[in-house]
Structure formats: structure tokens, C-alpha cells
């Protein structure tokens, strides 16, 4: 698992994005970069061609999957940017609990869907409160369970890594958030 090297403020007091040492961009920026990159998407859907060819996706072609993803990603990013400009992040990203059984009041694994009704785009985060989220990553979910796709299994590990990181640094509530500075794997507030 790669080390957390930075946490970026996307919207102060509500949305933060984690950056890992093996990524050039923070998690949210990396998602939108991947989802708009035709070469990345073509390779991704080629790898998962069997899932696209299932009855669930009506034998969708790779080209159609790439176009659908880029279109959804653009709408998703526009919604998010519009929400940030208006100071209302949760209008662009509507998070839900990742697991139905998770009931604690903070550090809840969460997911947000893309803008369409049957979106396969996912943004994953740790929910600190009903209005504060740490984006851990995301992906394209083509199966019912995350465990059925290697890429999404990695996202589950990142969610747990960020949750543990926040716990180790005593970030449990909105009031625990200050200026983030990471030094030798420690979050300095």
C-alpha cells in the first residue's frame, strides 16, 4: 500500500482529497483525469471486456463504454465544480454509506455515484460528519460486489488506510481539522 503524502482542501470545512506517493495528483483529480483519458479507459474496458459483454450491459462495446464514461465524468465534474463555486459540495457529490451495517457517527466508509441513474462511476471517501468527507479514491464499478474487481479491492484498502490514518492522528470530528501537514507519515494539525 502506498503512503499518504498529502491531503488537499477541495472545499474548506467539507471536502478533502488524499494524495498517495505513487500518484501525481490527489485522488479526486486523478479520478477525473483517468475518466477523461481515452487510452486509460480503452485499456480498462479491454481488461474487463467480459463484464461489458454480459447481459447486464447489453453487450456494450468498448467504444461505447469509453464514450459513456467520458460523458458521465464531464457531467459529474461539472456538478461538483458548480457545487463548490456555490459553497454546497454535497449537491455535486451525494454520499451514502458503503456498507449497510456501518452505524458509527464518524469515520464511515462512503460512496458517491456518478450523475446518471445507472452510473458505474464511484467516488469513495471517509465521512467524518454529515458534511465533511476525505476522498480516498474511486473507480468504475462493473460488478455487483467490489470484491469481484481487483481495482475496487485496492480502493477498499485505501478507504481503510485513510480511516486508520485519521484515527492515528486523532481526527474524529470536524473540530479536529486544522492545517494539514504530513511529516514522516504523521498528520500535523
Q: pLDDT tens-digit profile of 72-126?
A: 999 999 988 887 777 665 556 777 888 766 555 578 888 888 887 789 999 999 8
DSSP 74-141: HHHHHHHHHHHHTT-HHHH--EEESSTT---SSSEEEEEE-SSTT--EEEEEEEEETTEEEEEEEEE-
pLDDT at 28 (0 to 100): 95
In which residue ranges of the chain is pLDDT below 50? Answer: 179, 183-189
Amino acid at each position: 500500500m502506498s503512503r499518504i503524502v498529502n491531503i488537499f482542501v477541495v472545499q474548506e470545512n467539507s471536502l478533502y482529497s488524499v494524495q498517495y506517493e505513487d500518484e501525481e495528483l490527489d485522488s479526486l483529480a486523478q479520478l477525473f483525469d483517468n475518466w477523461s483519458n481515452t487510452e486509460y479507459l480503452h485499456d480498462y474496458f479491454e481488461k474487463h471486456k467480459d463484464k461489458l459483454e454480459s447481459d447486464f450491459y447489453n453487450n456494450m462495446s468498448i467504444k461505447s463504454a469509453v464514450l459513456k464514461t467520458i460523458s458521465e465524468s464531464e457531467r459529474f465534474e461539472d456538478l461538483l465544480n458548480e457545487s463548490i463555486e456555490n459553497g454546497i459540495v454535497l449537491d455535486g457529490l451525494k454520499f451514502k454509506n458503503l456498507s449497510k451495517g456501518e452505524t458509527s457517527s464518524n469515520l464511515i466508509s462512503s460512496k458517491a455515484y456518478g450523475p446518471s441513474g445507472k452510473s458505474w462511476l464511484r467516488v469513495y471517501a471517509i465521512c467524518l460528519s454529515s458534511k465533511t468527507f476525505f476522498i480516498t479514491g474511486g473507480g468504475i464499478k462493473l460488478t455487483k460486489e467490489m470484491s469481484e474487481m481487483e481495482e475496487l479491492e485496492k480502493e477498499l484498502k485505501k478507504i481503510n488506510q485513510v480511516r486508520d490514518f485519521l484515527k492515528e492522528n486523532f481526527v474524529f470530528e470536524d473540530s479536529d481539522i486544522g492545517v494539514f501537514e504530513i511529516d514522516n507519515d504523521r498528520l500535523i494539525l
